[in-house]
Amino acid sequence: MSFLRLTDVTKFYGATRAVSAMNLTVEKGEFVSLLGPSGCGKTTTLQMIAGFEAVSSGRIELAGKDITHAKANTRGLGIVFQTYALFPHMTVADNVSFGLEMRKMPKSERAERVKQALALVHLEAHATRYPRELSGGQRQRVALARALVIEPPVLLLDEPLSNLDAKLREEMQFELRQIQRKVGTTTVMVTHDQSEAMSISDRVVVMEGGCATQIDHPHRVYEHPSTRFISTFVGKANLLNGRVTASGARSCHVAVGALAVEVDDTAYMPGDAVLMSVRPEKLQLVEAGRGRLDGQVLERFFLGSQWLYRLGTPAGDLMVLSPNDGRDALDEGHAAGIDWPAHCTRLLPADEAVVA
């Protein structure tokens, strides 16, 4: 039996449906991220799990118990908000201890639990400081310690890293994952940051328009997106209109303009209109005439460890990510060939494609 289960959970605000028939199971100790753009329903879903928003229809179960209509303060869940919500007049230790005090835990036991929680987030030396005396990353860790000290069955994270600068955010992603693995707390996180969700989650729930469009392991979400939206929201993708010309037992052939491509996909029949998706980093720049097709560099962008090129080709404009490996970058106007492994192409459903 799954530890946390959402069955057909739906939320209406008046006539507007914010979340539509969400079905999700989370195993004990699993780290699951709800990923999507603003307004997709991910935060509303988290708030329904927490008990801050009422469920319009459907059912939420925790460890086999129906908590759909239980009050938030009776669910015992740990929550870290985007703003951290620390008490400014309390020290770090007092902030962490607050939840234990509300549970009327004896003072001696509280002190030991607070000490352990602060050690977990490496803030033992800051116990007597106030939130205003801490950096953003330290305040985030205090909020995490406060949520974990009550030993919640589920930890809910509402974009906990969004207020940090880019470098600190990256560092905290891995620290958060290390802490979660060490403690083993079942965790559900809301984020709009694709790299954040992909790097630290066991599974990712991609949401669009209130619906969960794909629930899968991060690698599969990236390598096998189920919709056009996912292919472009989770990373970058080149999307080319095509039509299936032949299909076999293990692959099919797709015509993209004058280009013929074999794709490891057997879900389509000859004549089907499709979108062929290829990630920019899967494309390789070679000498003109040596690849699948030729193109001309229209723009280039330096990204530090990589160069991003936009090339014009007979099949349409293509983005190519090349490593900054010490070789000279291609100038705008340079002619180049473009190649890629056959297994790196993906086909998207016919109703996602528009072919003239």
Pull the structure tokens for residue 301: 């962008």
Contact 241, 353 (CB under 8 A): yes
* 167 lies in the same domain as 245: no
* 187 lies in the same domain as 302: no
SS3 94: helix
**Residue 353's pLDDT band (boundaries 50, 70, 90)?**
very low
Quick one: pLDDT at residue 318? Answer: 95
- pTM equals 0.90
* 63 lies in the same domain as 153: yes
* 289 lies in the same domain as 268: no
* 86 lies in the same domain as 181: yes
What is the per-residue pLDDT across 14-66, written as a single tens digit (0 to 9) for each?
Answer: 999 999 999 999 999 999 999 999 999 999 999 999 999 999 999 999 999 99
* 14 lies in the same domain as 154: yes
What is the per-residue pLDDT across 86-111, written as a single tens digit (0 to 9) for each?
Answer: 999 999 999 999 999 989 999 989 99
Burial class (CB in 10 A: 0-12, 13-18, 19+), 115: middle
* 289 lies in the same domain as 273: no
- DSSP string computed for 214-273: EEE-HHHHHHS-SSHHHHHHSS--EEEEEEEEEE-SS-EEEEETTEEEEES--S--TT-E
Quick one: pLDDT at residue 89? Answer: 95
* 273 lies in the same domain as 185: no
* 39 lies in the same domain as 126: yes
**Residues with Cβ within 8 Å of residue 234, at least 6 apart in sequence:** 35, 194, 198, 206, 221, 222, 225
Q: Is the model's pLDDT at 294 over the cut of 50?
A: yes
Contact 213, 202 (CB under 8 A): no
* 118 lies in the same domain as 253: no
Contact 259, 316 (CB under 8 A): no
DSSP tag of 3: S
What is the per-residue pLDDT across 125-156, written as a single tens digit (0 to 9) for each?
Answer: 999 999 999 998 899 999 999 999 999 999 99
> Which residue's entry shows tokens 């998706």?
277
Quick one: pLDDT at residue 343? Answer: 84
Which CATH number is 315's domain given? 2.40.50.140
Q: Is the model's pLDDT at 84 over the cut of 70?
A: yes
Contact 235, 319 (CB under 8 A): no
* 59 lies in the same domain as 108: yes
* 175 lies in the same domain as 315: no
Q: What is the mean pLDDT of residues 289-311?
A: 95
> Which residue's entry shows tokens 């037992």?
249
Contact 154, 188 (CB under 8 A): yes
Mean pLDDT of the chain: 92
Angle (deg, nearest 10), helices 92-102 and 107-120: 130
Please count the structural domains in the chain: 3
Which CATH number is 47's domain given? 3.40.50.300
- Its domain, for residue 299, covers 284-339
Q: Is the model's pLDDT at 356 over the cut of 60?
A: no
Question: Final residue of a domain: which of 229, 246, 265?
Answer: 229
First vs last C-alpha separation in the chain: 49
